[in-house]
Amino acid sequence: MKPVEFLQLVHFAEKLKDTTRHCTTSKGRAESVAEHSWRISLMALFLRSEFPELDIDKVIAMCLIHDLGEAFTGDIPSFNKTSSDEKIEDSLFRKWIESLPQELSSVMMKLYDEMMALESKEAKLYKALDKIEAVIQHNESPIESWSENEYQLNKTYGMNEVKFSEWMLKLREEVLNETLRKIDESENSIRRCV
């Protein structure tokens, strides 16, 4: 890869720093797609000893690239995203991958296809982390930033994706406990004000 091609890739990836997600940070600032991707990558790194049989470097790579397609489409919250939205994002991302230098393009396409198939344990772990991190971030954000449907969604989001692993099921249960505490604290606060 030529340095100019490398710079083009880096400049493209920068778009995710300015592509905001539906969720906010704990201080109420709009979270970027890049921040979400960084944290699920970090989560994967932290789980290396919990999943010694997995290729955690591959999981981290999946986490890093999984939302690059949103540089074209922006972030659409899961409860608003249609299959048509997903097809458009997938198509644009695949075209972009095909435009990369051949060596990188083939590696990225193979990785992306594995992610989309969700058959390998690595792909299942990446997908579970993607879902769980979204709920964790909502739990950290001010409850005033939640949309009405998220009170229920945060209780169930990602439950199917963690079923492949007992450890991930336990993690999801802990995240659910945080969600329930946050909702309960908010309701108690409202009652005290009334």
> What's the CA angle centered on 87, arms 79 and 64, to 5 degrees?
75
User: What pLDDT score was predicted for residue 168?
Assistant: 98
Distances (CA, A) of 82 to 67, 77, 85, 161, 175: 16, 10, 5, 19, 26
| Structural domains of the chain, ranges and CATH numbers in brackets | 3-193 (1.10.3210.10)
**Number of helical H runs and strand E runs in the chain:** 9, 2
Listed residue (140, 112, 111) closest to 25, CA to CA: 140
User: What pLDDT score was predicted for residue 176?
Assistant: 97
User: What pLDDT score was predicted for residue 10?
Assistant: 93
Residue 75 DSSP code: -
Indicate the length of the chain as a whole number: 194
User: What pLDDT score was predicted for residue 47?
Assistant: 98
Residue 66 DSSP code: T
Q: Which amino acid is at 2?
A: K
Digit-by-digit pLDDT tens for the chain (194 residues) are: 889 999 999 999 999 999 999 899 999 999 999 999 999 999 999 999 999 999 999 999 999 999 999 999 888 888 888 999 899 999 999 999 999 999 999 999 999 999 999 999 999 999 999 999 999 999 999 999 999 999 999 999 999 999 999 999 999 999 999 999 999 887 766 555 55
Plot region of 10 (φ>0 → left; ψ -120 to 50 → alpha; else → beta): alpha
